[in-house]
């Protein structure tokens, strides 16, 4: 959920969440808190067996919440569909990697008002993630994001 919301916001869907880099990539405390509320309100349900993982699916009250934001959802439906189609099938580790690459690339662009080189982004990701991912894996994920037009 964190990563899908991160990419929705990066795609200019007007979400009010702030993201910071964390152990598993971009993280929003606000999303974490709201996720707990959505679970309690049965808007989403966690079907995971392992409590260390999450497997959120729409709950019995999802339509009542979505109907309150119908116009906004309709305005951004194509972007949201693209994001969910593109990323929802990725395993959590790969989502962590691609969102971290995107976060580092975007942060550099915002801070320095210049597009960073592939090598600078890859080096930063390897520094942040340590030995969790290999250089070829990071480079391939970077290329996939560029080809999908998710980094400018």
pLDDT, tens digit (0-9, with 9 covering 90-100), for 81-137? 989 888 877 888 899 999 999 999 999 999 999 999 999 999 999 999 999 999 999
Residues 145 and 148: their CA atoms lie apart, in Å, by 5
pLDDT (0 to 100) of residue 100: 96
Read off the pLDDT band of 74 (50, 70, 90).
Answer: very high
Residues 10-59: tens digit of each pLDDT: 999 999 999 999 989 999 999 999 999 999 999 999 999 987 788 899 99
């Amino acid at each position: 959920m964190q990563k899908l919301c991160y990419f929705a916001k990066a795609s200019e869907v007007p979400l009010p969440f702030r993201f910071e880099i964390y152990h598993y990539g971009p993280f929003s405390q606000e999303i974490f808190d709201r996720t707990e509320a959505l679970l309690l309100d049965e808007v989403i349900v966690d079907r995971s067996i392992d409590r260390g993982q999450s497997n959120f699916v729409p709950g019995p009250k999802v339509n009542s919440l979505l109907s309150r934001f119908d116009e906004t959802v309709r305005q951004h439906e194509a972007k949201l569909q693209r994001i969910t189609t593109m990323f929802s099938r990725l395993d959590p580790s790969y989502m962590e990697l691609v969102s971290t690459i995107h976060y580092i690339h975007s942060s550099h662009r915002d801070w320095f008002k210049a597009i960073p080189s592939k090598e600078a982004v890859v080096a930063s990701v390897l520094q942040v993630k340590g030995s969790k991912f290999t250089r070829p894996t990071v480079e391939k994920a970077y290329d996939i994001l560029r080809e999908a037009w998710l980094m400018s």
